[in-house]
A and B are shown apart, each in its own frame.
Chain A
């Protein structure tokens, strides 16, 4: 039976931030994005209309977009998170308070080569549905969370193909072959040196015996 995925709504003014959050929550296969909101009004309407399992909210969320010349407040994230926590009972609200550190005007600051995790009070937030439903510490309060850059992206072994493995095997075979050849050459040299040593030893021994025999016989005759 297929596991039920967490239905998530993403609320941020910037499409790039929405995409970042989309990738973040779907990478483990626990959650699926069912809606996106770019301001407070849209987030409230979406949350009430589809009651998602979770809504991720950028703390810098404007009440309305497209009227930037009025220097409107962009601090609507907390207000929205509090309102949804109290009014939409089945939706867990995650308020992300440091997205501005990773994005400037929607553009990533330095996202290359990093992996990211969503954390609250120092621990990872799991978006798996059973874990989310167990989260009942403060049922009518948002979860105050932040994004943490955890590490460099690890080498993905799954991407190494058949011929990569064959190349590696070839390199190992060549190295082993050379090692064996070198061993054989050294062994042959060893045999030759030992044989030469044997011949010299034998010659010396024979000559010594012959000398002794001659000395014995010639001295008897004399």
Chain B
């Protein structure tokens, strides 16, 4: 992975979720990381799948989509993009939060390089060390709130379209 001379620890430091951790704590998280690369068009995970890893995007661009249930499917298409993931942002937070099932599908719009953090090991660390747990979950809640806000925007858009077309 072309990332200059940065170590995994330094890369994690650039992500808001892990930015507040001490060097020692960050070292522990870095030990759970596997670096992965996906070509454009790849689906990293699908809605409904079991969430094994938490991801930090290093390069590329991702779209997060929700799949509409059959009874709510529109005239065309059954997937709606509700958010985009940019560099140093976290996605796949379901790996940390129960019931560990992905609520969205992640599709690579561009070739993507990611840090995949083992969800089970990270949960154990958060549980074992309350300080790390607090810092990480505090930032992770912001990510979840942001996803919720973007989804709300899309929902409003859809409503407006329906109202305007009637």
- Interface, chain A (partner B; CB < 8 A): 44, 59, 63-64, 67, 70-73, 75-80, 82-83, 86-87, 95, 97-98, 120-121, 138, 141-146
Contacts and interface: CB of A to CB of B under 8 A. Distances in A.
B145 interface: no
B164 interface: yes
Contact of A79 (B40, B81, B84, B108): B81
A125 to B, nearest CB: 12
A75 B81 contact: yes
Contact of B107 (A44, A73, A78, A98): A78
Given A70-B156, A73-B153, A78-B81, A97 B110 contact: yes
A138 B84 CA distance: 24
Query: Considering the complex of A and B, which 4 residue pairs feature the smallest CB-CB distances, nearest first?
Result: A83-B77, A144-B40, A144-B41, A75-B81
Interface of B: 39-41, 61, 63, 65, 76-77, 79-84, 107-110, 150, 153-154, 156-158, 160-161, 164
Q: Is the interface of B mostly helix, strand, loop or mixed?
A: mixed
A97 B77 contact: no
A146 B40 CA distance: 10
A207 to B, nearest CB: 89
B57 to A, nearest CB: 14
Q: Is the interface of A mostly helix, strand, loop or mixed?
A: mixed
A29 B41 CA distance: 28
Given A72-B157, A78-B63, A98-B110, A44 B76 contact: yes
B26 to A, nearest CB: 32
A95 to B, nearest CB: 8
Contacts of A63: 157-158, 161
A79 B79 contact: yes
16 contacts: A70-B157, A72-B154, A72-B156, A73-B81, A73-B153, A73-B154, A73-B157, A78-B81, A78-B109, A79-B79, A86-B77, A97-B109, A98-B110, A120-B40, A142-B41, A146-B110
Most-contacted residue by chain A among B76, B81, B82 (CB, 10 A): B76
B66 to A, nearest CB: 10
Given A72-B157, A73-B153, A73-B157, A79 B80 contact: yes
B81 A71 contact: no
Given A72-B160, A146-B110, A79 B77 contact: yes
B83 to A, nearest CB: 7
Contact of A75 (B83, B108, B156): B83
Contact of A71 (B65, B80, B108, B153): B153
Nearest to B74: A83
A36 B158 CA distance: 23
B109 A76 contact: no
A78 B79 CA distance: 9
